[in-house]
Amino acid sequence: MSSQLKIFDTTLRDGEQSPGASMTLEEKMQIAQLLEKMRVDIIEAGFPAASPGDFEAVNAIAKRIKNSVVCGLARAHPGDIERAGEALEPAEQSRIHTFIATSPIHMKEKLRLSPDEVVERAVAAVKQARSYTENVEFSPEDAGRSEPDFLCRILEAVIDAGATTVNIPDTVGYAMPEIFGKLIGELIERVPNSDKAVFSVHCHNDLGLAVSNSLSAVMAGARQVECTINGLGERAGNASLEEVVMAVKTRPDVFDCDTRIDTTQLVPASRLISSVTGFPVQPNKAIVGINAFAHEAGIHQDGVLKNRETYEIMRAEDVGWSANRMVLGKHSGRNAFADHLKSLGVEFASEDQLNDAFMQFKIMADKKHDIYDDDLLSIVSSAATVGRSEKFKLISVAAQVLPDDLSVATVEIQMDGQTKRLESRGNGVVDAVFQAIKNMVGFDGRLMLYSVNSITTGTDAQGEVGVRLEKEGRVVNGHGTDLDIVKASARAYINALNKLFSTEEKAHPQYSEAI
Ligand code: KIV
Ligand code: ZN
């Protein structure tokens, strides 16, 4: 059995299915480049048949990424596989990942197909995918609730048809670690041609067990884990990449395999995903939470000072915490700025974006003494919108707390190229700003979430605001950063509105018409 555990990152596909986590092409490219730098083996870049935007993103990533395999998802459907094949055409290393549901409930209620028909379609899909690439993955969706005998039958058939990876998804997060591990061991044992394919797992976190289930499968012989940065993903998310990778690295006594991952990129990747999606990382999140290496209790601090191994099983710098240094000052030049961002895995899509980001950096350096990597990453994510035509643009915000407890805000925006300005009152300055924007654009949906985080420390730290809006069942997240949290709030609100008003329709691989 191979001693390499392949890491298959699906942040850009399953992660993006998380309500409100949609990403722009530039953001996806930035993430793909960081994943490549982290030495992720396979990057699932999207579901090309979902929408023209998804196709374009997979195609652009396929052109740019050289050192990781670029993968596209496709239902076991000729049209989907053709789209995936076309999108991946320019890739140096490509993979098509095709899937069809195999649990009794999915076959009967969703697909309305007999088990024989499901096997037939799976085999046909794998054969068609092999006409585009030699690297084909097959997933029996909802395997966690499928009959083991049927799984053995379909896996044998797809491996015979040319699948080189077979992935066992716990689609609904129903599995228990011990039982799931046993299932993987049993499949490897019972499928006669199991030695011709890599066994993989893809676990969802509905019961908080995605990482445990994945690790149990690795102990039973799985040699690929599908996961996402920060555990982003559908509903409660997927297995978290950073937790899987660090568990395997920290416990070589338990796992007889290792990954190729450059673990110093884990914290930067977590920051990037959080800033792009606006989903904050909980402070006590393993590996990448701000408290993950903070020792508060005196007795712990004393022990760590004497010998860090008394209380630390991993080193903060090994997962990238030391990367958040004070790096540049107000006298740093444009080349130093671009070079430093390159070392953080950021490449600008255009000169205009670099110029805009550098200008924002200079403005920040005038106001803020210490500038950290995280400050730079937040500048970069807002510069990624330069050159993009958006419906709403924030021009200015002025707000004041009045003595009668109400606050007043005047907001100026550009809407479809026309400038509008409105003064509104509210319960606090943020409420007043939101009222003004809402009335100007005629938004009649719901504000579902408002959150503020500080990106670094100190009262001059940048505030990072997240806003979640809902209209007619569509949920989007917006984010905005600024030294001033009122401005950051206005930016986040406008960012969410731009996403809500974008018209692109996107099919969901699992909810859209199954076949
Ligand atoms: O959760 C799931 O079953 C999936 C498949 C497409 C692999 O995401
Ligand atoms: Zn999934």
- Residue owning the nearest CA to atom 4 of ligand 1: 171
Predicted pLDDT at 386: 53
Residue 80: CB atoms within 10 Å: 26
Using CA positions, which residue lies closest to atom 5 of ligand 1?
A: 141
Q: How far apart are CA 191 and CA 413, in angstroms?
A: 62
Q: Is the CB of 80 under 6 A from ligand 1?
A: no
C-alpha 244/C-alpha 222 separation (Å) is: 13
- Burial-class residue 390 by CB neighbours within 10 Å (0-12, 13-18, 19+): middle
Residue with tokens 């037939």: 120
Q: How many CB atoms lie within 10 A of CB 264?
A: 16
CB 241 within 8 A of CB 7: yes
Write the pLDDT tens digit of every residue in 339-383: 888 777 677 778 888 888 888 888 888 887 777 777 787 787 666
Q: How many CB atoms lie within 10 A of CB 141?
A: 26
The alpha carbon of 134 and the centre of ligand 1 are apart by a number of angstroms equal to 21
Quick one: pLDDT at residue 295? 66
Q: Is 99 in the pocket of ligand 1 (CB under 6 A)?
A: yes
Q: How far apart are CA 271 and CA 292, in angstroms?
A: 14
The preferred substitution site among 12, 97, 141 for testing ligand 1, maximizing ligand atoms within 8 Å of CB, is 141
Q: Ligand 1 in contact with 13 (CB < 6 A)? A: no
Bridging pattern class, strands 407-415 and 418-426: antiparallel
- What average pLDDT does this structure show over 395-406? 88
Please give the distance, rounded to the nearest whole angstrom, from the Cα atom of residue 141 to the centre of ligand 2: 9
Ligand 1 neighbourhood includes 181 CB (under 6 angstroms): no
Beta bridge partners of 452: 465
Strands 136-141 and 94-101 come out as parallel
Longest dimension (CA), the chain: 78
Q: To the nearest whole number, what is the mean pLDDT of the chain?
A: 90
Mean pLDDT of 86-99: 98
Amino acid identity at 437: I
pLDDT given at position 329: 75
Q: Which residue has the higher pLDDT, 362 or 244?
A: 244
Question: Is ligand 1 within 6 A of the CB of residue 16?
Answer: no
| CA of 106 relative to ligand 2 center, distance in Å | 15
